[in-house]
Amino acid sequence: MDERQAIDQLCINTIRTLSIDAVQAANSGHPGTPMALAPMAYCLWQRVLRFDPEDPIWPNRDRFVLSNGHASMLLYSLLYLTGVKAVNADYEQVGKPAVTLEDIKRFRQLDSKCPGHPEYRWTSGVETTSGPLGQGVAASVGMAIAERWAEQYFNRPGFEIINYRVYAVCGDGCLMEGISGEAASLAGHLQLSNLCWIYDNNHITIDGNTRITFTEDIPARFMGYGWNVTRVGDVNDLEMLERAFDVARHTVDRPTLIIVDSHIGYGAPHKHDTSAAHGEPLGEEEVRLAKQAYGWPPEAKFLVPDGVRENFAAGMGARGAQLRTAWNETFARYRKSFPEIAAHLEQMQRRELPQGWDRDIPTFAADSKGIAGRDASAKVLNAVASRVPWMIGGSADLATSTKVRLSFDDAGELSADNPAGRNIHFGIREHSMAAILNGISLSKLRPFGSSFLVFSDYLRPSLRLSALMELPVIYIFTHDSISVGEDGPTHQPVEHLAALRAIPGLIVLRPADANEVAYSWRLIMEQRHQPVVLVLTRQALPVLDRTKYAPASGVLKGAYVLADAADGKPDVLLMASGSEVWLCLEAYERLKAEDIKARVVSMPSWNVFERQDPAYRDAVLPPAVTARVAVEEGSTFGWARYVGPTGRCIGMDTFGASAPMKEVQKKFGFTPDHVVEAAKQQLGTAARPKR
* Helix/strand/coil (H/E/C) assignment for every residue in 170-232: ECHHHHHCHHHHHHHHHHHHCCCCCEEEEEEECCEECCEEHHHCCCCCHHHHHHHHCCEEEEE
Question: Chain-centre distance of CA 350, in angstroms?
Answer: 17
Cβ neighbors of 626 (< 8 A, separation 6 or more) are 644, 646, 647, 686, 687, 689
Say how far apart CA 690 and CA 8 lie, in whole Å: 81
Question: 630 with 575: CB under 8 angstroms?
Answer: yes
Using alpha carbons, select from 23, 77, 68, 14 the residue that is nearest to residue 282.
23
Question: 118 with 105: CB under 8 angstroms?
Answer: no
Q: How does DSSP classify residue 420?
A: T
Using alpha carbons, select from 289, 275, 323 the residue that is nearest to residue 48.
323
Say how far apart CA 461 and CA 166 lie, in whole Å: 22
**Could you confirm whether 284 is annotated as catalytic?**
no
* DSSP-assigned beta bridge partners for residue 506: none
In order of 138, 145, 422, 441, 555, the CA distances from 413 in angstroms are 21, 13, 6, 19, 33
Cβ neighbors of 153 (< 8 A, separation 6 or more) are 341, 344, 389, 390, 420
Cβ neighbors of 589 (< 8 A, separation 6 or more) are none
State phi, psi for 456 to the nearest 5 degrees. Answer: -60, -20
Scored b (16 or more CB within 10 A) or e, 28-45 reads: ebbbbbbbbbbbbbbbbb
Q: How does DSSP classify residue 82?
A: H
Question: 12 with 34: CB under 8 angstroms?
Answer: no
Q: How far apart are the first and last CA of the chain?
A: 92
Cβ neighbors of 98 (< 8 A, separation 6 or more) are 56, 79, 84, 85, 86, 113, 123, 124, 125
* DSSP-assigned beta bridge partners for residue 652: 635
Could you give the residue ranges of the DSSP H alpha helices within 1-87? Answer: 3-26, 32-43, 72-82
Catalytic entry in 119, 127, 430, 632? 430
Question: 139 with 438: CB under 8 angstroms?
Answer: yes
Cβ neighbors of 461 (< 8 A, separation 6 or more) are 132, 135, 179, 431
Please give the single-letter amino acid code of residue 41: A
The packing angle between helices 339-349 and 135-154, to 10°, is 160
Sign of CA dihedral 534, 537, 542, 543: positive
Helix (H, G, I), strand (E, B) or coil at 463: helix
Catalytic residues: 430
